Amino acid sequence: MSEVGSTTVVAPRILAIVNQKGGVGKTTTAVNLATAMAACQKRVLVVDLDPQGNASTGFGVPRKARDADSYAVLIGEASIADAAIQTEVPGLEVVPASPNLSGAEIELVTMEHREFRLREALVRHAAASPYDYILIDCPPSLGLLTLNALVASDAVLVPLQCEFYALEGLSQLIRTVERVRKSLNPDLEIQGVVLTMFDRRNNLSEQVAADVRGHFGDVVYRTVIPRNVRVSEAPSYGKPVIVYDMACSGSRAYLDLAREVLRRERALAEAA
C-alpha cells in the first residue's frame, strides 16, 4: 500500500491463469472470472499474453485496435495505460494480444531482465493503477511468456479440464512454480485449481474430479465449471458468457467461482 497525495493506493493483486496443456479452459476462465469479478464491483484488467489472442477476441476487441498490445508492453514500446482498452463490461479493461507476440519468446531471450519485463511494466503502472485485480491469460506452454506471467504474479490459478489426462503435466507445472518461487519470485502462491468442462452425465468427469481432489485437497475450488454450450458460443459474439447469457449454468458457475476466489483472497490477506 502506498500514499499518493491524499489517496491510499492498494497495489492490485495479480493472478496468472496457467496450464501448459492446451484447450483446458484458461482463456474461458480468464475472460469469465474477470467479468464475474467486475460484477462483484472489483476493477479488473485482463492481460492477454497468448499470441493466439483468444481473450482479446472473447472481449470483442477488433484486430485493428490491437496495435498497442501486450507485445509492445513487453518490449517497452507501450505502457499498460497505453495498451489497456475498456471492454463493454464496466470496470473491466483488457491489454490485447496480437500475432506480434509470437516472436516475443525468441526476441526476449536477448533482452535484459527478460523474465521481468511484464513485472516491471506492471510495477511502473502500479502507482496510478486503477485495478483491484489483474488476471493474466497465459499461452499453453511454460516458455518465456508464461515465465513473465509467473514472475509478475502474486498467485497462480490453474484450470484443469475434467478428462482422462487432466493430471498429466501438472507435476511439471508445480515444479515450475516452485522453481520460480526459489529464484525469481519468492512470494508466488497457488490461489487454486479449478475443474472445468465438467460433464455430469459422464462418469469419467466424476472420477477425474475425485482424483484431482484426492491429490490437491482444498487447493481445488468447490465450484466446478460445467460443460455448457453457451460458454463455448459466447466468444463468437465477442462477449463473456455472463454478458451473453447471464442465467446459463456456465455464467452461474463463473459468478460462484469469483465469490470463492475473492473469499480466498480475503483469507490470504488476513493471514498475511
Ligand X SMILES: Nc1ncnc2c1ncn2[C@@H]1O[C@H](COP(=O)(O)OP(=O)(O)OP(=O)(O)O)[C@@H](O)[C@H]1O
Residues that bind ligand X (CB under 6 A): 22-28, 50, 52, 54, 140, 196-197, 225, 227-228, 231-232, 235, 250
- Measured from the CB atom, the residue of 132 and 136 that comes closer to Mg ion is 136
Positive or negative, the Cα torsion across 150, 153, 155, 159? negative
CA 131, chain centre distance (Å): 14
- Measured from the CB atom, the residue of 33 and 92 that comes closer to ligand X is 33
CB of 33 to ligand X, least distance (A): 11
Q: Tell me, what DSSP letter sits at residue 25?
A: S
**Segment lying near Mg ion (by CB under 5 A), choices 48-56, 165-173, 222-230, 231-239:** 48-56
CB of 27 to ligand X, least distance (A): 3
CB of 23 to Mg ion, least distance (A): 8
Q: Does residue number 54 form part of the binding site for Mg ion (CB under 5 A)?
A: yes
Q: Does residue number 27 form part of the binding site for Mg ion (CB under 5 A)?
A: yes
* 49 contact partners, CB below 8 Å, separation of at least 6: 70, 97, 101, 118, 136, 137, 138, 139, 145, 146, 148, 149
Count the site residues for Mg ion by CB under 5 A.
Answer: 3
**Segment lying near Mg ion (by CB under 5 A), choices 22-30, 35-43, 150-158, 171-179:** 22-30
CB of 243 to ligand X, least distance (A): 15
| Cβ count near 193 (within 10 Å) | 23
- Measured from the CB atom, the residue of 50 and 132 that comes closer to ligand X is 50
**Segment lying near Mg ion (by CB under 5 A), choices 53-61, 192-200, 225-233, 253-261:** 53-61
Written as nine digits, the cell of 140 is 499453453
Q: The cell 465449471 sits on which residue?
A: 225
Q: Please, are residues 101 and 50 in contact by the beta-carbon 8 Å criterion?
A: yes
Report how far apart the first and last C-alpha atoms of the chain are (Å, whole number).
13
**Interaction partner, residue 66 (Mg ion, ligand X, none; CB < 5-8 Å by kind):** none
- Measured from the CB atom, the residue of 46 and 125 that comes closer to ligand X is 46
- Measured from the CB atom, the residue of 27 and 185 that comes closer to ligand X is 27
Q: Does residue number 21 form part of the binding site for Mg ion (CB under 5 A)?
A: no
Amino acid type, 257: L
| C-alpha distances in Å from residue 156, one per residue of 16, 134, 135, 188, 201 | 5, 12, 10, 7, 30
- Measured from the CB atom, the residue of 100 and 196 that comes closer to ligand X is 196
Q: Note the residue count of the chain.
A: 272
**Sole binder of Mg ion in the list 18, 21, 25, 26 (CB under 5 A):** 26
**Segment lying near Mg ion (by CB under 5 A), choices 25-33, 34-42, 189-197, 253-261:** 25-33
Written as nine digits, the cell of 265 is 483472497
Is 45 strand, coil or helix?
A: strand
- Measured from the CB atom, the residue of 54 and 98 that comes closer to Mg ion is 54
Is 87 strand, coil or helix?
A: coil
Integer Cα distance of 95 and 85 in angstroms: 6
**Chain residues that interact with Mg ion, rule: CB under 5 A:** 26-27, 54
